[in-house]
Amino acid sequence: MKVDGNRQFALLEKIGFVRVSGSPEELKAANILMDEIKAMGLEPHLEPFEVSYGKVNVAKFAVTEPYQKEYTVTGYRLAGNTAKGGEEHELLYLEGYDDVMLQKAKGKFVIVNGRLTVDDYKKVYAAGIAGFMTMGGTVIDEVEKTDLDTRTMRDSMREVGTVPAFHIRMTDALEILKSGATKVKIELDTEPTTHTSNNVVVTIPGTEKPEEIVDVGAHYDSVEFSSGVWDNGAGSVTIMEMLRHFVENPPKRTMRFIWFGSEELGLLGSHAYVKQYADEMSKHIFMINVDVGGSVLGGNMAGCTSDESLCKYIEYLAKEVGYSTSVRQGIMSSDSVPFANAGVPALNFGRGGRGPGMGFMHTRYDMISLISPEALQVTTEFAVYAADRLVNAVVFPVPRQLPQNIVEQVDKYLNKKPEKKA
Ligand SMILES: [Zn+2]
């Protein structure tokens, strides 16, 4: 079988619609993937998992002094609620987290400068803020051409304590601050919810070492507003093409192909999968993950969530077949992280822009017009080649043991507290 970029592209067009965690569209995409797999004569299945989430019923924000104007905002899911009917507070632009700013913040509603880390949130929460607002987009955005996303207050923040939280366009924040706004009225009503998301799973049993399992994964969900073709319809169609290869060329080791749901909410599909198979995780010796691909402008990338030897191995293979790629050791913000957390080393493939302006992840501009069959094919051919070498190796070349720097990166990424040494 030959890798066929046109076939990949055709499937990408079929799943290239907004498919947010737990939505009917996410399920529809799962079923399209299921049909594609069934057409190969295999029996895939859905593995549902519950997602704890939140929904926002009311999110209102208005400047009340020295002028009156209501602004379009989104409210953070699972943030703190205001009193019904809203609350009025003094406004402060919190340009930093130094003691001077923090002393001024007491009792005020603050617009924060840039991203709010958990550590910064601890400081402003302790300072006694009445609520906060983050800014999204850029100062040159046009309203009709951009979207304002809805954010979620992460558990690591909720553990500190909750306050009402909002997200606003940067252009509006600029107007508010330039206009010298001093008082605002805020109203937020959010409630916890749960919904169901699905992983799509199919297994090819190994011919010689069926007890050794290599997982091959890609997430198929998207964020709101985005058709998610680059991120990560491309990875979804890449592993579909890999599956075709291994159906025709049965591997020595067992291969489990998984299309993960809800990656965009925090790798939830892969976390659910690793949890579901916790008892047999010791048999899972390796993971291959594909996240982003197919971009015409851009270059191939390989990320080794393993010891350095895999990086060298991939560099050698790439040279052998004439595949241009960057190779780096480390974790990726993707579904290989829960595997690494369970001790499973991983190889990540992708293709993306190296400079700003080439692609627009997580926006309406993640468009199929930026993707080509040829660009999909080039990454896939190498992924098939490398995977074929690995799963058919006489002795599996990558040790199932992660070096200390990877363990630390995973712990940091998952916000795990460092274990106390005895
Ligand atoms: Zn992604």
pLDDT digits (tens, 9 = 90+) for 224-240: 999 999 999 999 999 99
What class has domain 5-52+195-413?
alpha beta
- Residues pairing with 110 in the sheet: 92, 132
Please write the tens of the pLDDT for every residue from 259-275.
999 999 999 999 999 99
- Distance, CA 35 to ligand 1 centroid (Å)? 23
Predicted pLDDT at 93: 98
- Distance, CA 286 to ligand 1 centroid (Å)? 20
Q: What is the band of 421 on the pLDDT scale with cuts at 50, 70, 90?
A: very low
For β-strands 45-65 and 299-305, DSSP reports them as: unpaired
Please write the tens of the pLDDT for every residue from 142-194.
999 999 999 999 888 999 999 999 999 999 999 999 999 999 999 999 999 99
Contact 148, 136 (CB under 8 A): yes
Report the pLDDT averaged over residues 82-110. Answer: 97
Report the pLDDT averaged over residues 351-370. Answer: 88
* Stretch(es) of the chain classified as CATH 3.40.630.10: 5-52+195-413
The mean pLDDT value of the chain amounts to 96
pLDDT at 96 over 70: yes
- Distance, CA 263 to ligand 1 centroid (Å)? 7
Predicted pLDDT at 200: 98
Please write the tens of the pLDDT for every residue from 48-57.
999 989 999 9
- Distance, CA 150 to ligand 1 centroid (Å)? 18
Least confident of 6-15, 65-74, 413-422: 413-422
- Distance, CA 216 to ligand 1 centroid (Å)? 15
Q: The tokens of 286 are what?
A: 């390796």
User: Residues 6 or more apart from 185 whose CB is under 8 A from it?
Assistant: 60, 61, 62, 64, 86, 87, 88
For β-strands 253-260 and 209-219, DSSP reports them as: parallel
- Distance, CA 219 to ligand 1 centroid (Å)? 7
Predicted pLDDT at 417: 62
Neighbours of ion ligand 1 (CB under 5 A): 231-232, 291
* Stretch(es) of the chain classified as CATH 3.50.30.30: 67-181
Largest CA distance in the chain: 76
Q: What is the band of 127 on the pLDDT scale with cuts at 50, 70, 90?
A: very high
- Distance, CA 267 to ligand 1 centroid (Å)? 9
- Distance, CA 191 to ligand 1 centroid (Å)? 27
User: Residues 6 or more apart from 301 whose CB is under 8 A from it?
Assistant: 325, 326, 328, 348, 349, 350, 351, 352
Please write the tens of the pLDDT for every residue from 304-333.
999 999 999 999 999 999 999 999 999 999
- Distance, CA 133 to ligand 1 centroid (Å)? 26
Q: Is 212 helix (H, G, I), strand (E, B) or coil?
A: strand
Predicted pLDDT at 275: 98
Smallest CA-to-CA distance from 336 within 396, 398, 388 is with: 398
Q: 148 to each of 23, 81, 143, 167, 413, how far by Cα in Å?
A: 19, 20, 9, 8, 25
67-181 folds as: Glucose Oxidase; domain 1 (3.50.30)
> What are residue 253's phi and psi, to 5 degrees?
-100, 160
pLDDT at 209 over 80: yes
- Distance, CA 344 to ligand 1 centroid (Å)? 20
pLDDT at 354 over 80: no
- Residues pairing with 216 in the sheet: 257, 288
- Distance, CA 254 to ligand 1 centroid (Å)? 25
- Distance, CA 291 to ligand 1 centroid (Å)? 5
- Distance, CA 91 to ligand 1 centroid (Å)? 36
- Distance, CA 97 to ligand 1 centroid (Å)? 31
Q: 35 to each of 11, 24, 46, 73, 359, how far by Cα in Å?
A: 11, 16, 12, 40, 30
